[in-house]
Amino acid sequence: MGEKDAYLLRERLPLLLEAVQAEGYECIGPQWQNEAIVYDILNQVEQLPHGVQVNQYPGEYCGEIHEGNVRCFAWANGPQALKPFLFAPRETLWRVHRDNDGRLQFESATPEAPKRAIFGVRACDLAALALQDRHFLESDFPDPAYAARRENLLLIAVNCSHPASTCFCASTGDGPVAQAGYDLVLDELDDGFMIQAGTEEGQAIMARLNLIPVTDGHREAIEIQQEKAHEQLRQVPGKQLRDALFANLDHERWDDVAGRCLSCGNCTSVCPTCFCHSEEELAPLDGGSSEHIRQWDSCFTAGHSYIHGLTIRQQTRERYRQWLTHKFGSWHDQYGRSGCVGCGRCIAWCPVGIDVTEELQAICGSDDA
Amino acid sequence: MSSPYLPHEAEIFQRLEETPHIFTLRLRFTDPDIHAQYHFEPGQFNMLYVYGVGEVPISIVSDPQDEHAYDHTIRRLGRVTNVLAGLQEGDRIGVRGAYGRGWPVQQAEGKDVVLITGGLGCAPVVSVINYVLKRRDRFRRLIIMQGVKHSDDLIWREKYETWSKQNDTQVVLAASQGGAGWPWATGHITELVSEIDFDPQNCTVMMCGPEGMMIAAMKELLPRQVPESAIWLSMERNMQCAVGHCGHCQHGPNFVCKDGPVFNYPEIKPLLGIKGF
Ligand SMILES: Cc1cc2nc3c(=O)[nH]c(=O)nc-3n(C[C@H](O)[C@H](O)[C@H](O)COP(=O)(O)OP(=O)(O)OC[C@H]3O[C@@H](n4cnc5c(N)ncnc54)[C@H](O)[C@@H]3O)c2cc1C
Ligand code: SF4
Ligand code: SF4
Ligand code: FES
């Protein structure tokens, strides 16, 4: 644990929120709304999901509120990750005006990019953010909207104390303890939070809090908590999945999973690393201007692979195979690592409870040593 | 940060009707600075935007050193291309580009150049034909093979006839269904690979067209001892962004828009022809 750690007593948590607000950030934090953890505007710490615990299973997400339980971060995750805050589900890319002579004037849309702080960020989501950064920013054509929002982002991570049964971040190496990419990171105990800074900005915020030293008792409790969080039910098969997947493109399991999969695309929507989107023209209403937008798309739609006269992935089998071979296979070629950070969202939010770890095991595990 | 998605206004300064379904647009950016800065390589493509309708990827067929204009030869098929087909000289569209990796024209210098195209895939390699003919002494033999379904689908018939009369140039055309007065072969173009005269050990093969046709051509080329690394293919996939972000154009690990559209055969060999990729 870092040298400059300190302890924030639970009753002083509002000071942290106030310090961040004082820096001019719009604060976003986890809240229990409509039977799920969602990230929404956070004005006061009372809005945090106190006492909420969430049980996640394939195709199932159900929360319980434990009266008297003081913890605010004793759940793993909700359907959103950081993705919607950076890569907007739908946004205007540009507008074009046409004058009476048919001349066109193109104008870039200015993205909305307020200074924004997000509380309760998970290790898996930080790892996913690093991947989205590579995709949208470390490119010959950096994405201006993503860049503007990324620039203005402050991240306050909380190490997971209660992974869900669907989580397998320990096996992907991305969690449950945040490794990098945060400004501040907390470990939650009943009486408060151990706090550490990852950036100078985080340090400056820490300096404004009324902190006390971390006791040996705190350290020990956190160590036990972190160890326990590493004990996860699910895992990805520990082998070269890229080669194993592409060596098994004719595996009969693809037909089997295609028989269950609805091709709904929920998995790709909740996945924090999926980046596919389509562009669309919003038909001009006044005849004088038109808008060009983009919105999230999924490799599970027919349009995704359409070229004139041919849908390359007509069948669910081909779509599911595209999703799995991309996420766990060709991501290695594209970004030097798997596209999965082990958050388990695609398992919990799949309406029919398809479990990627199980499918991988069935397809790649057969010749496992 | 400037937006990679923003088109620039371009003017159709000439429109040529090639067949009832195929037309060529000669374009210029209306902003002279943008036009002056614009450059491309044979085999690269632009995104053409039609007001209120949308964008489509289209290859550039003209010569990269033609400073006056850049040309697109387009087949009308659907939403966007139908509207493009109706535009007239003087009309404005949006253009952004040039994108992707083009043909290895520099590497092909000093070698025989073999071009094999099928179906409507001819547009991207026409840029190479023009490129080679303009710099004829840098290349050895030029072999142009074009297959079409029906003889009526062949565009630029006179051009092929002119090309066939050049020195060190062989033109082989085939139609699956030849009509009356069709002087060329009837059948699949790939069956004629065995008849072309070139040096397999010192050649660059460039292909585009349906993947099945390219695979069939490969089956003829490889037994003639053409090294796999001498074969280049232009791929087509759905494209929304053209800059590697939207994910639509992926072919296994490759983004066709930025890693292609032209690929060296060994790069795409593992997944080529596998349904669903
Ligand atoms: C790199 C590249 C170069 C191309 N060069 C040429 C060329 O030089 N000349 C030419 O005539 N055509 C070319 N095409 C094909 C051309 O892009 C399609 O014919 C065109 O997109 C069809 O659009 P549409 O709206 O008229 O048809 P629709 O069938 O209505 O298609 C609707 C939409 O689907 C997408 N789409 C459909 N077909 C294709 C396709 N083949 N490739 C990519 N997206 C597609 C487009 O977004 C299109 O707007 C090229 C395609 C690629 C990928
Ligand atoms: S593939 Fe599933 S578990 Fe992996 S990052 Fe995406 S949603 Fe999470
Ligand atoms: S795997 Fe599940 S969530 Fe994904 S498309 Fe199939 S049914 Fe939908
Ligand atoms: S066209 Fe968008 S990633 Fe290639």
Among A327-336, B180-189, B250-259, the range scoring the smallest mean pLDDT is B180-189
Q: Is residue B106 part of a domain?
A: no
pLDDT at B128 over 90: yes
* B144 and B254 within one domain: yes
Q: Is residue B230 part of a domain?
A: yes
Q: How far is the CA of A57 from the centre of ligand 2 (A)?
A: 14
* B240 and B158 within one domain: yes
**Which residues of chain A does B240 touch, with a Cβ-Cβ cutoff of 8 Å?**
277-279, 294, 297
The structural domains of chain A, with segments of one domain joined by +, span: 6-230, 242-367
**With a cut of 0.90, is the ipTM above it?**
yes
Atom of ligand 2 nearest to the CA of A166: 3
CB contact under 8 A, B5 and A292: yes
Q: Calculate the average pLDDT of chain B.
A: 93
pLDDT at A2 over 50: no
* B59 and B15 within one domain: yes
Residue ending a domain, among B64, B99, B134, is B99
Name the domain count of chain B: 2
CATH, residue B22: 2.40.30.10
- Tell me whether B250 touches chain A (CB under 8 Å): yes
Confidence bin at A369 (pLDDT 50/70/90): very low
* B241 and B266 within one domain: yes
Of B51, B77, B243, the CB nearest to A141: B243
- What integer is the mean pLDDT of A152-180? 96
pLDDT at A117 over 70: yes
- What integer is the mean pLDDT of A105-132? 96
Among A329-343, B48-62, B176-190, the range scoring the smallest mean pLDDT is B176-190
Q: Is residue B267 part of a domain?
A: yes
- Ligand 1 pocket list (CB less than 6 A): A 306-308; B 45, 54, 56-59, 73-75, 77-82, 123, 236-239, 261
pLDDT for position B184:
87
**Which residues of chain B does A251 touch, with a Cβ-Cβ cutoff of 8 Å?**
none
Asked if residues A144 and B3 have their Cβ atoms less than 8 Å apart, the reply is: yes
pLDDT for position B75:
92
**Which residues of chain A does B276 touch, with a Cβ-Cβ cutoff of 8 Å?**
312-313, 315, 317-318, 321-322
Of B94, B238, B241, the CB nearest to A96: B94
Per-residue pLDDT tens digits for A65-76 = 999 899 999 999
Of A104, A136, A321, the CB nearest to B92: A104
DSSP letter at B30 equals S
- What integer is the mean pLDDT of B62-90? 94
Rounded CA gap, B138 and B52, in Å? 45
* B155 and B90 within one domain: no
* B74 and B199 within one domain: no
Q: Is residue B2 part of a domain?
A: no
Cα of A218 to nearest chain B Cα, Å: 45
Residue ending a domain, among B74, B99, B124, is B99
The boundaries of the domain holding residue B121 are 112-271
Q: How far is the CA of A269 from the centre of ligand 3 (A)?
A: 10
* B244 and B118 within one domain: yes
Asked if residues A290 and A95 have their Cβ atoms less than 8 Å apart, the reply is: yes
The structure's pTM equals 0.95
Cα of B192 to nearest chain A Cα, Å: 27
pLDDT for position A368:
46
- The alpha carbon of residue B205 and the mean position of all alpha carbons in its chain are separated, in whole angstroms, by 13
Rg (CA), chain B: 18
Rg (CA), chain A: 22
Of B5, B247, B250, the CB nearest to A93: B5
Confidence bin at B157 (pLDDT 50/70/90): confident
Residue B14 Cβ < 6 Å to ligand 4: no
Q: Is residue B141 part of a domain?
A: yes
Cα of B246 to nearest chain A Cα, Å: 5
Rounded CA gap, B147 and B96, in Å? 31
As a 3-state breakdown, chain B gives helix, strand, coil percent values, each rounded to 5, of: 25, 30, 40
Residue ending a domain, among B99, B121, B151, is B99
> Strand, helix or coil at B123?
helix
- What integer is the mean pLDDT of B161-186? 88
Task: Tokens 């790649």: give the residue.
Answer: A364
pLDDT for position A23:
94
- What integer is the mean pLDDT of A290-298? 97
**Minimal-distance CA residue of chain B relative to A281:** B54
pLDDT for position A287:
77
* B72 and B138 within one domain: no
Please name the residue whose Cα sits nearest to atom 8 of ligand 3: A264
- What integer is the mean pLDDT of B63-83? 94
**Which residues of chain B does A333 touch, with a Cβ-Cβ cutoff of 8 Å?**
252-253
Task: Give the length of chain B.
Answer: 277
Per-residue pLDDT tens digits for A172-199 = 999 999 999 999 999 999 999 999 999 9
Dig out the tokens for A310 from the structure: 């041919």
Q: Is residue B43 part of a domain?
A: yes
Atom of ligand 2 nearest to the CA of A328: 1
* B143 and B12 within one domain: no
Q: How far is the CA of B56 from the centre of ligand 1 (A)?
A: 5
Rounded CA gap, B149 and B174, in Å? 8
pLDDT at A292 over 80: yes
